[in-house]
Chains A and B, each alone.
Chain A
Amino acid sequence: AQSVSQHNHHVILSEAASLELGCNYSYGGTVNLFWYVQYPGQHLQLLLKYFSGDPLVKGIKGFEAEFIKSKFSFNLRKPSVQWSDTAEYFCAVNLRFGAGTRLTVKP
């Protein structure tokens, strides 16, 4: 069965700090990888996605993620976070989602 693990439940950073959120999955077949974000009071929306090609994908708002097939990982990164990045972040592999990571950025 497919499963998706997000290592951090809650991450607290100061503005301008760098961010990396971990995502690992267990599935041996073809994977379509996604990161979604849910800002307070808003719907889930897509940050970025990977289907094939360059394993380093860039999304909206300066986010990027790297697919490392050998590690079954798809970690999300941002070099310098802003207060407005405070949200919950979900990794998804095909139709399965991780438990989410709550990011709080202190101004």
Chain B
Amino acid sequence: GAGVSQSPSNKVTEKGKDVELRCDPISGHTALYWYRQRLGQGLEFLIYFQGNSAPDKSGLPSDRFSAERTGESVSTLTIQRTQQEDSAVYLCASSLGPPGSYNEQFFGPGTRLTVL
């Protein structure tokens, strides 16, 4: 596609429920990234995929968070048993190659998650 797309754009859920957030990277981009942005704060790195493997998942805050990627395509971020502190905008980005190789990240519009 023309850019990184994310769905849903907004998600409201009740505490304790599971949610799935989807990211479609730019076609041909091998690297995919997930970030979290809480209100008034910067971007918090969660996980990075190169292809369908995750060389760096050091930013996942707890075992309630998991992510997977199918080949060099769509990625899903799953949050189990959501808590109110999970409320944030979840941003996805993709790049042509791995980080640190002159590759710019292209960001999607984000999914705004609200946990009641």
Contact = CB atoms under 8 A, between A and B. Distances in A.
A90 B91 contact: no
Interface residues of B, number: 21
Interface string A90-107: 101011111110000000
Interface in B82-114: 91, 93, 99-100, 102, 104-105, 107-110
Contacts of A92: 43
Contacts of B65: none
B68 interface: no
Contact of B43 (A30, A46, A90): A90
A83 interface: no
B35 A97 contact: yes
Contacts of B102: 49, 51
Interface of A: 4, 6, 30, 32, 34, 36, 43-46, 49, 51, 90, 92, 94-100
Given A44-B91, A95-B33, A100-B42, 15 more contacts: A30-B100, A32-B100, A34-B105, A36-B107, A43-B108, A44-B107, A90-B43, A92-B43, A94-B100, A95-B45, A95-B99, A97-B42, A97-B43, A97-B44, A98-B42
